[in-house]
Structure 1
Amino acid sequence: MTRSGHAPILLARYLALAWCGLVVYGSLHPFSGWRDTGISPWAFLEGGWPRYWTVFDLLANVAVYVPLGFFLTLALHRLPWRFTAPILACLLSAGVSGGLEAIQTWLPSRVPSNLDLACNTLGGLLGALWAHAVGPRVFARITALEHRLIAPVPHAELGLTLLGLWLLVPLSPETLLFGAGDVRQIFGLTGAVPFAAESFMLIEASVTAFNLLAVGLIARQLCARASIAYAVVPLFILCALIVATLAAAILIAPAEALAWLTPGARLGLLVGGGGLAFAMLLPPTPRLMLAALSLMAGTVLVNLAPPNPYSIAALATWRQGHFLNFNGLTRLVATLWPFLTLPFLFLTARR
C-alpha cells in the first residue's frame, strides 16, 4: 500500500474536526445550569462594547480560531477556484463562533459577546490567509514526510491526530500519569478499591505501564521503519513527560514540577518501557492486538483506582487559578481518548 495524495487533506480534516471539538467544549464548559432567560439568542449581535474585557481576552479569542481557519482551509484545498477554500473557512469559523455565542445565552456562567464573535472571525480569517499563502508548501512537505516516515497503514492520518490529542492527557496534573479513560466523574462513581499505599502504588504503576505500552505501540505502528521507530517513539514519550512536568510547574507550583514522578509512576515507566522495547520487535498484527489489550487494561484499572490524596490537593490548587475551563477540556480528552482509539486499532487490524 502506498501513501495517497489525499493524505494531507485527510490529516487536515481530522485536525480541523478535532480542533473544532476542542473549541466547542472550551466555549460551553461547564455544560451545566442551562436556563431560559427569555432573551433572543441573537440579541448579543446588537449589544454595545462589553463592560469587562482585557487585551489578553481579545488576543486569546483571536488566537484560538487561527488554527481552525488554518486547518479548514487546508481541508477544503481541493475545491475549485483558488479562493474558495479560504472564503469558506472564514465563513465556517464565523458560523461556529456565532452559533456558540448564541448557545451561551442559555448558560449563566457565560456571556455572549459580539466582540468575541468579531475576534473569533478575525482569527479564522488570519488562519485562512496563512493557510492560503503556505498551503502548497505545507502539502508538499507533509507528503514528503509521510512517504519517508509514516507507514502505509489504513487511517494513518487518524492515528496521527489521536497521538496529538494524547499529549493533552499529561496536562492534567491531578490524574495518574498517562491515566486515560476514567469515566467515574461522568457517572458519579467512586473507586472500587479502598486506598492503601501498597495497592495504590501497584495500580498506579500498572496504569502507567499499560498506557505507555499502548501509546508506544500505536506510534510504532505508524512508523515506516524500525530504525525510525526506535528514535521517534522514545522522543514522543519524552515529550509527554516534558508536558507533564511543565503542566505541574505552571498550573500548580514550580516546586511541584516533578510531583508526577511518584514511586508508582517510576515503576510503571520502567516496566512499560522495558515491555515496549520488546513488543516493538513483534510483527504488526501482534503489536496491534497487544496495544488494544494494554489500552483496555489501563482503562479498566484507572476506573478501579482509589482516590489519590495528591490528586485532590492538586485540583484544589488548580481551581484557585484561571485554568478551570482548560482543566475540564484536558480531562474530557483524557476520558474519551481510549474509546476513540480502540476503533482506530480495530479498523487498522482489519486491513
Structure 2
Amino acid sequence: MQEPGRRRSSATWLALIYGLLVVHASLYPFGPWTWPTGVTPSWLIGLPWPRYWGPFDVWVNVLGYLPMGLLTFAAVVRSGGSRRAGLLLAIAGLSALSYLMESLQYFLPSRAPSLADWLLNSLGALLGGLLGGLLHHFGGLQRWHGWRERWFLQPSEGALALLALWPVGLLFPAPLPLGLGQLLPRLRELSESLLAGTPWEIVSGAEPVVRPLPPGLEAIAIALGLLGPALLALSAARPGWRRVFLVLGALLLGVVGTTWSTVLNFGPQHAWAWLTPATWPGLGLGAALAWLACLLSRRAAAAWGLVVLTALIALVSEAPADPYLAQSLQFWEQGRFINLYGLAQWIGWTWPFAALAWLLWRVAQRDPTR
C-alpha cells in the first residue's frame, strides 16, 4: 500500500502532458530543419532580443508556463518530494526547458528565437511554482486531495487528467458538436501521401462524395460525444449522489467548450450557432443516458465507455468537415494563434483513443469495489 504522501497524482500526468504540448507549441511546424545561415555554433548559445513584441507576447508567454509551474510543483509534492525540490524543478527545470525550446527555433526558419520569450516563460514558471508553494502552505493541495478522495476511488489520476483535457480538445472545431476523434481520416490522408509515387501507391480513383450525417445519426453522435466523457468519469467515481453532479459537470463543460470554440472561430455573434435542431435532442439523449449510467458499477461504466467511444469514432470518421471552417482556419494559420490552436487540434483528434486505452486498462483491473 502506498504511503499517503507518495500516492500517484493526476498532477503528474497533467504536467507531463502539458510539457508535451509546450514542446509542440514551441517547435511547430517541426520543419524544415536547416542550419541558420551565417551562424557559428558558439553564437547559438545566446538568444537575441526581439525587434517587435507587444502585450499579446507578454501574456501568452507568462500564462503559457504558469500552469506548468504549478502542476510541476504539485506533481513533485504529491509524489512525496519536498517543497524545495518542487520549486527547484518548477523554476530552474522549466526555465531550462524554455531555453532549449528557444535555441532549437534557430533551426526552424518559420520560428524566431527570443530572449524576451525565455525571460517571460521563466517568469511564468516562477509564478506558477510560487503559487503552488502558497497553495501547499495554506493547505490547498491537501484540500484538493481530500476532495478527490471523497469523489473518486483509486486509481483515478489517468481519468482525471483526461477529463481535464477534454474541454481543450473541444476548442478545435469538430465536424459536429462534441464529435472528437476524427483521426482516422487524417491517417488515411497521411498514408496516401507517403505512398504516393511508390509501388504501393493507393489509387482511389474519383473523389468520393462526402455527405453530411442524417439528422438522426448526427444527434446520436452528439449524444455519444457527451456520454463518453461521462462514462469515463463514472468509471473512476465513488457510488452515490455525487455521480449525478459529475454528469451535470460534463454537460456544462461540453456546452462551454463548444460555445467558446464557436466564438474563437466564427465570432461572438455566432456563439450559439452550434445549437442546431439536431443538437438539442443529442444533448438531451446523452444527458439522460449518462444519468441512467450513474446506477452502473465502475467496471460496467468503463465497459460501456469502450462501446460508446468506439461508436463515436466510427460516426465522426464518416462526418464531413464544416464547409465554413477552411476560411476560419486561414485566420489561425496566418496569425499568432496557430501554435496554440494546433494543441487543441491534436487533443481533439487523439482524446477518444487515449480514453479508450485508459478504459481498457480499467476493465482489466481486479477491483473489489467493482
- Structure 1: gaps of 5 or more residues: none
**How has the CA–CA distance of structure 1 residues 81 and 206 changed in structure 2, closer, same or farther, with 3 Å as cutoff?**
closer
**How has the CA–CA distance of structure 1 residues 289 and 176 changed in structure 2, closer, same or farther, with 3 Å as cutoff?**
same
Secondary structure of the residue aligned to 2:128 is helix
Distance 2:3 2:89 in 1: 27
Asked whether the equivalents of residues 249 and 257 of structure 1 are also in contact (C-alpha less than 8 Å), the reply is: yes
Asked whether the equivalents of residues 223 and 282 of structure 2 are also in contact (C-alpha less than 8 Å), the reply is: yes
67-76 vs 199-208, which deviates more? 199-208
Give the equivalent residue in structure 2 for 1:138: 140
Give the equivalent residue in structure 2 for 1:85: 86
Fraction of identical pairs, as percent? 31
Aligned pairs (5 A) from 1:198-213: 199-213=213-227
C-alpha deviation, 1:211, in angstroms:
2.1
C-alpha deviation, 1:250, in angstroms:
3.9
Asked whether the equivalents of residues 3 and 147 of structure 1 are also in contact (C-alpha less than 8 Å), the reply is: no
Letter of the 2:143 counterpart: R
The one-character-per-residue Cα deviations of 1:13-63 (angstroms, maximum 9, x if unpaired) are 112112112211111222233323354577354344211111331232122
**How has the CA–CA distance of structure 1 residues 251 and 307 changed in structure 2, closer, same or farther, with 3 Å as cutoff?**
closer
Give the equivalent residue in structure 2 for 1:63: 63
Q: Of the candidates 218, 240, 246, which is equivalent to residue 260 of structure 2?
A: 246
Give the equivalent residue in structure 2 for 1:18: 17
Give the equivalent residue in structure 2 for 1:160: 160
Distance 2:273 2:337 in 1: 19
Q: Of the candidates 196, 219, 224, which is equivalent to residue 233 of structure 2?
A: 219
TM-score by length of 2: 0.84
Give the equivalent residue in structure 2 for 1:170: 170
C-alpha deviation, 1:114, in angstroms:
1.9
Give the equivalent residue in structure 2 for 1:31: 30
Distance 1:59 1:287 in 2: 41
**How has the CA–CA distance of structure 1 residues 23 and 335 changed in structure 2, closer, same or farther, with 3 Å as cutoff?**
same
Letter of the 1:194 counterpart: V
TM-score by length of 1: 0.88
Letter of the 1:53 counterpart: W
Distance 1:80 1:14 in 2: 16
Asked whether the equivalents of residues 12 and 75 of structure 2 are also in contact (C-alpha less than 8 Å), the reply is: yes
Give the equivalent residue in structure 2 for 1:50: 50
Asked whether the equivalents of residues 173 and 314 of structure 1 are also in contact (C-alpha less than 8 Å), the reply is: no
252-261 vs 47-56, which deviates more? 47-56
**How has the CA–CA distance of structure 1 residues 326 and 22 changed in structure 2, closer, same or farther, with 3 Å as cutoff?**
same
**How has the CA–CA distance of structure 1 residues 205 and 316 changed in structure 2, closer, same or farther, with 3 Å as cutoff?**
farther
Distance 2:169 2:140 in 1: 27
- Structure 2: gaps of 5 or more residues: 193-206, 366-370
Give the equivalent residue in structure 2 for 1:271: 285
Asked whether the equivalents of residues 34 and 107 of structure 1 are also in contact (C-alpha less than 8 Å), the reply is: yes
Distance 1:268 1:42 in 2: 59
Alignment of 1:194 with 2:209, yes or no, is: yes
C-alpha deviation, 1:215, in angstroms:
0.9
Letter of the 1:128 counterpart: G
Alignment of 1:121 with 2:122, yes or no, is: yes
302-311 vs 163-172, which deviates more? 302-311
